[in-house]
């Protein structure tokens, strides 16, 4: 069963939310998408999760897709993490007693890492894909940027998202993929990364970090450094040779999802 609606976040901003609930779910996952994209690019992941009895909640970040908010803009890193928290709390209220997992890709992985650091113990597990947590590859140039927060730069991420040309082409044609990025958002990410470094000991949740070795947008060193810094006793790191940024869209995506689902099942 799929349901779409707008929900109000902590400050009243309306976020576009989609639920996919299988019969008798045994767990619930919140999917957190990346920069400039939207939840609709995670249909295949959602189908795989639901087929395995995992309910899926996914939403468009503020300023992205069909959500409200100034386009591709944050005034500070707490906005993105507290939006995630609103959705996780909704999922837990509607699916009481089920273990909660947060799945974050790229900027969504950054948001999921912030979530686990700011709200430890809320999730049964965190799944990170190409998570931007240290900025070892300066894909947007040096940060912070000395420019007005409400000024914008082009979204130049497209060619590096995946090794599959069809995925890159679809990304470029997608009307819900944003074409510009605000300086405010970029600088908020820089602030969030500094906060993550300073508070890594607060991250204690079970976590699996997945990264493509050929990721040209977010360095696999980000995941290596995060893995070493956090305090989780249950942590797994997998670096996949030859894969690009969007490992959930690479040709071997189903093999990777098999690994993710096996990891989740051991923690239900």
Helix or strand holding residue 86 (H, E): helix 77-94
- Enter the tokens of residue 256: 């990777």
Q: Is 245 a catalytic residue?
A: yes
Active-site residue flag, 44:
no
Pairwise CA distance, residues 207 & 124, whole Å = 9
Per DSSP, the residues of 252-266 read THHHHHHHHHHHHHT
Sign of CA dihedral 21, 23, 28, 31: negative
Q: Which of 105, 100, 59, 99 is nearest to 82 (CA)?
A: 59
219 is an active site residue:
no
CB 45 within 8 A of CB 20: no
Beta bridge partners, 237, equal 209
**What phi and psi, each to the nearest 5 degrees, are found at residue 182?**
-80, 150
Catalytic residue among 20, 205, 215, 222: 215
Which residues lie below 8 Å from residue 146, measured CB to CB, with a gap of 6+? none
Q: Of 106, 163, 188, 219, which one is the catalytic site residue? A: 106
The residues assigned a catalytic role are 106, 215, 245
């Amino acid at each position: 069963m799929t349901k779409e609606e707008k929900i109000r976040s902590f400050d009243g901003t309306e976020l576009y939310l989609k639920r996919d609930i299988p019969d008798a779910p045994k767990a619930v996952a919140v999917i957190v998408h990346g920069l400039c994209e939207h939840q609709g690019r995670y249909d295949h992941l959602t189908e795989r999760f639901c087929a395995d009895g995992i309910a899926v909640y996914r939403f468009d970040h503020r300023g992205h897709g069909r959500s409200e908010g100034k386009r591709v803009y944050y005034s500070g890193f707490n906005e993105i993490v507290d939006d995630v928290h609103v959705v996780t709390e909704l999922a837990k209220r509607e699916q009481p007693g089920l273990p909660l997992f947060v799945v974050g890709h790229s900027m969504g992985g950054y948001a999921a890492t912030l979530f686990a650091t700011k709200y430890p113990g809320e999730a049964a597990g965190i799944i990170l894909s190409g998570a931007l947590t240290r900025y070892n590859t300066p894909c947007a140039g040096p940060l912070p940027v000395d420019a007005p927060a409400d000024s914008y730069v082009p979204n130049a991420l497209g060619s590096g998202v995946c090794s599959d040309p069809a995925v890159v082409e679809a990304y470029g044609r997608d009307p819900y993929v944003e074409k510009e990025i605000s300086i405010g958002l970029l600088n908020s990410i820089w602030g969030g990364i500094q906060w993550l470094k300073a508070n890594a000991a607060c991250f204690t949740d079970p976590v699996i970090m997945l990264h493509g070795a050929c990721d040209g947008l977010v360095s696999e060193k980000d995941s290596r450094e995060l893995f070493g810094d956090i305090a989780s006793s249950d942590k797994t790191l997998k670096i996949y040779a030859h894969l690009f940024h969007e490992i959930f869209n690479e040709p071997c995506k189903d093999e990777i999802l098999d690994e993710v689902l096996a990891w989740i099942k051991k923690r239900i």
